[in-house]
Amino acid sequence: MMDLQRVPAPLHDVSAFAQKSRVVDDRVREAAVLSVSAAQASEFKRAVQAAK
């Protein structure tokens, strides 16, 4: 589990995605990325842009 107290506040939304998608194996990670819905990808993009 990620300790959000150690993550800068502007990155909290992005860290939620990181917690859900932390995958060590490259092939499994690729499959996970390819299985993300358009809505989930848009939400992730919004969170990253907000953190800039």
- 1-52 pLDDT, tens digit per residue, is 678 888 888 888 888 787 777 777 888 888 888 888 999 889 888 888 888 7
pTM of the model: 0.58
Say how many Å lie between the first and final Cα of the chain, rounded.
24
Q: Are 32 and 45 in contact (CB under 8 A)?
A: no
Question: Cβ–Cβ contacts within 10 Å for residue 47, how many?
Answer: 17
Distance CA 33, CA 51 (A): 20
Residue-wise burial string across 9-21, b where 16 or more C-beta atoms lie within 10 A, e elsewhere: eeeeebbbeeeee
